[in-house]
Amino acid sequence: MLDPFGKRAREILKEFENINNFLEIIPTYLDINLALERIIWLKSDVIPGYILNADDLKDLMGFYALLGALAFSPYGFEMELVKEANLRIYLARIERTKNFEELSLSIELAPENEIPQRDLTIIEKRLHSEISPEERDRIALKYKIKLKDFLSLNEGSLKSVYIKNGYVYLTRNQVIELWKKSFERNLERAVNLLYELRDELPQYYLQLYNRLSEIAREHFKKRFEKVEKASAQPLRFDLFPPCIKMALGGVPSGLRNYAITVLLTSFLSYARICPNPPSKNVRIKDCIKDLSIIEKEILPVIIEAGNRCSPPLFEDQPNEIKNIWYHLGFGYTSKPRLEDSGTSTWYFPPNCSKIRANAPQLCKPDKDCKYIKNPLTYYLRKLYLENKKESQGEDRNE
């Protein structure tokens, strides 16, 4: 199989009706150690032949087993590891093929007569007789893709490509580069989808995630240590999604209870206390040893946002503070104790679709929103990208 998001993969998944069924079946076929072999080879830098030549179903099971594990921590070193190993497995296969039909990209073969000879002479250096046949093959514009599909993957950039009649014409290497972007985007989308299902996934995936995490810790040892040291950092307000920034700025009366009590309370508490809960029924007392983080870092931010509403929320409705504790899982109270956590449900941040249905004014998506389905994953993704950028900068300076 060339692409786990391509046509062949979709055909196989169709036979299982839906992704839940496929994920249910994987544990009966694939032992956790076998699933991890798809990653472990990175240590030796040589992809084993039995992985490269696996049959389509086994290949897809191995890949989806790892995606299922990532549902427990969508943005982290584990995802980076899974992405790196699988990108290399599929790239190795793609590099051996001449047929890109199976890829998830809508690539077409470009008939030669579509590009004026004058342009081909320049781009493909046709008058340069010293160019070897291999090099000539490398620079030939053999493929094309619709301009809108190209732009959606290439972040709007048209640098170094030939465009004609609504199509972008590409060399083989350019197709492969574009496929890498599409693979990364599809992987993120799939993990975000599975994140929503994580409470329904068999235990197998949590166990696989824990093992994967150990391997990632070893593989990214230096970066892991830096992040661990930084894990007690306060919330990064600059990385919050637009809806949360809007709620923080205060909202009008019809939106106040939803924006402050439901959305902000759940988002800030999970983002600060337990950004990657293993399931949705975790309790605050499972994550912290006393209430000081809530009282000193979370509640003041919620109260300030409430005061910025018009009219100010807690002046109008002083009992709403009890409702905040209720949403944090302590029951309807003004005197919470850590041991009471679990009396009510610790509300998880609502998904974007729910926010759009209940408070459409809060959802003003920016370009990063297209990758996620929940404001918390928006924040996790931005934190992950930020940490990655910082560690790459530090590596360059060392």
Residues of the shown chain interacting with ligand SF4 in the complex, contacts defined by CB under 6 A: 241-243, 352, 355, 363-365, 369, 375, 378
Binding site for [4Fe-4S] cluster, by residue number, is 243, 352, 363, 369
Residues 6+ positions from 251 with CB-CB distance below 8 Å: 259, 260, 309, 361, 362
- The nearer residue to ligand SF4, 328 or 355, going by C-beta atoms, is 355
- The nearer residue to ligand SF4, 298 or 359, going by C-beta atoms, is 359
Q: How far is the CB of 95 from ligand SF4 (least distance, A)?
A: 37
- The nearer residue to ligand SF4, 164 or 185, going by C-beta atoms, is 185
Binding site, by residue number, is 243, 352, 363, 369
Q: Do the beta carbons of residue 208 and residue 65 sit within 8 Å?
A: yes
Q: Do the beta carbons of residue 30 and residue 207 sit within 8 Å?
A: no
Placement of tokens 């709403």 in the chain: 320
DSSP result, 251-287: -BGGGHIIIIIIIIHHHHHHHHH-SS-SSTT--GGGT
Q: How far is the CB of 363 from ligand SF4 (least distance, A)?
A: 3
Q: How far is the CB of 275 from ligand SF4 (least distance, A)?
A: 15
Buried b (16+ CB within 10 A) or exposed e, 360-387: eebbeeeeebeebbbbbbbbbbbbbeeb
Placement of tokens 């040589």 in the chain: 46
Q: Is 191 exposed, middle or buried (0-12, 13-18, 19+ CB in 10 A)?
A: buried
Q: How far is the CB of 125 from ligand SF4 (least distance, A)?
A: 46
Q: How far is the CB of 247 from ligand SF4 (least distance, A)?
A: 10
3-state secondary structure of 138: helix
- The nearer residue to ligand SF4, 243 or 259, going by C-beta atoms, is 243
Residues 6+ positions from 196 with CB-CB distance below 8 Å: 351, 373, 374
